Amino acid sequence: MGGLRVAEALRRFGYAGPVTAIGDEPHAPYNRPPLSKEVLATEVSHEAVAFPQRPATEDVNWVLGTRAVSANLANSTVTDDTGLVHEYSAMIIATGLRPKRIQVPNGDLQGRHVVRTLEDAIALRAELIEGARIVILGAGFIGCEVAATARKLGCAVTVVAPGVHPIVRPLGTDLAKELQRRHEEQGVAFRMKSSVADLVGVERVTGVTLDSGEQLDCDVFIEAIGSDPNVEWLDGNDLELSNGVLTNNDLQAIRVDGTVVENVFAVGDVARFANPVFDGEPRRVEHWNIPTDSAKRVGQVLAASLAGDAVALAAAKNKPFAPIPSFWSDQYDMHLLAYGLLGLADEIRLIEGQILGDCVFGYYRRGQMVGVCGIGLRSVVQSFRKEFQLEA
């Protein structure tokens, strides 16, 4: 997605030269949010989730089903897993994340799933049949969305997670507790403050053993415990890769010595950048809007720089890159919508509605609003969006 959005932005800002996009998935870019929702609830193909292709990017050279295995920034080359070496004037890192997996003694079993790619979702869909017993490890957004979808399909669902309540970070205790109550009302069982010590089964998973010693029978085991950035292929170039790719405000990669690589950029959830709306602390942001927002910035800066247009470059850099973080989630008939960085808050208060119904919470750091999140009441949540807009 980040790659596609950069290509589109480069064209929009006037770059007409060649663009090569290397991606390890076999498909053209597609939209991931439906994978934990509609794709699991219905039969969905790549066509149904593919991003539309625009005329301006028809000549992009898509090298699909091919992984970048190494980069040499000194020579300006990328090598892919077929051994082909690609030379570049500028490189954009958009390699995203991969799901974390647990390491357990009896881990090599069928019936283990994650939800990241279309193939993951289709494979999981085939096993979410009515009456199937599902254990989900992890109670973040993906874990909760999959739990809701699996309940809708008539599966028996148990969620195992280390936290006190589901999505307690970043939602906070009150909202997270209410979310758990609503899941429980829909028939989901929780084993919070727990982890999975081992899997049970021969060839196929038949259960899990928790750290408490309790054993849960299951037909399907789903891991939804977060993700790691795909940056190993960049090793050996002295880039700061301790948590994704550290970048400056123009998404240009930064070396461990603090110097900037002018022609290497990172976009999407692999990029770690500071957002001046909040502070100077660089963060990776795993929100759906980040690939699009960061790609626009890169497209504008890079198109001006490749054209040698100093005026356009100065104009592009004049306005700081300050994307408004936003996320949303659908679980049963609950629609969550949020703006800002809720996780920064030291104080959370109910600002509208009632927690048992539709409600909006405000998230504050040292008295200043850093986030807003609602169940329903979208217009109210939207009215706070301007709080996270950088003042002109």
Partner 1 sequence: MTIKIDVDMTKCQHYGQCVFEAPDIFRLNSDDKLEYTAEADDSERANIEAAIDVCPMQAIRIVE
- Interface with partner 1 by CB under 8 A: which residues? 5, 8, 31, 33-34, 49, 51-52, 54, 288-289, 292, 326, 328, 330, 335, 337, 376-379, 382, 385
If you count DSSP H runs as helices and E runs as strands, how many of each does the chain have, helices first?
10, 26
Question: Can you say whether residue 340 is alpha, beta or left, with left for phi > 0 and alpha for psi between -120 and 50 degrees?
Answer: left
Q: Minimum distance from CB of 376 to partner 1 (Å)?
A: 7
d(CA 287, CA 343): 13
Closer by beta carbon to partner 1, 318 or else 379? 379
Amino acid at 87: E
What is the 3-class SS of 213-246, one letter each residue? CCEEECCEEEECCCEEECCHHHCCCCECCECEEE
- CB nearer to partner 1: give 99 or 323: 323
At closest approach, how far in Å is the CB of 297 from partner 1? Answer: 14
Shortest spacing between CB 378 and partner 1, in angstroms:
4
Contact 218, 133 (CB under 8 A): yes
Nearer to partner 1, 138 or 323 (CB): 323
Q: Is the dihedral of CA 375, 376, 377, 378 positive or negative?
A: positive
Other CB atoms within 10 Å distance of the CB of residue 56:
13
Helix, strand, coil percentages (3-state) for the chain, rounded to 5, are: 30, 35, 40
Q: Residue 233 or residue 339: which is nearer to partner 1 going by CB?
A: 339
CA-based nearest residue to 277, from 383, 169, 370: 370
Q: Which is nearer to partner 1, 28 or 200 (CB)?
A: 28
Tell me whether residue 230 or residue 326 sits nearer to partner 1 (CB atom).
326
Query: Least separation, in Å, of the C-beta of 293 and partner 1?
Result: 9
Output the smallest distance, CB 39 to partner 1, in A.
Answer: 12
CB of 137 to partner 1, least distance (A): 26
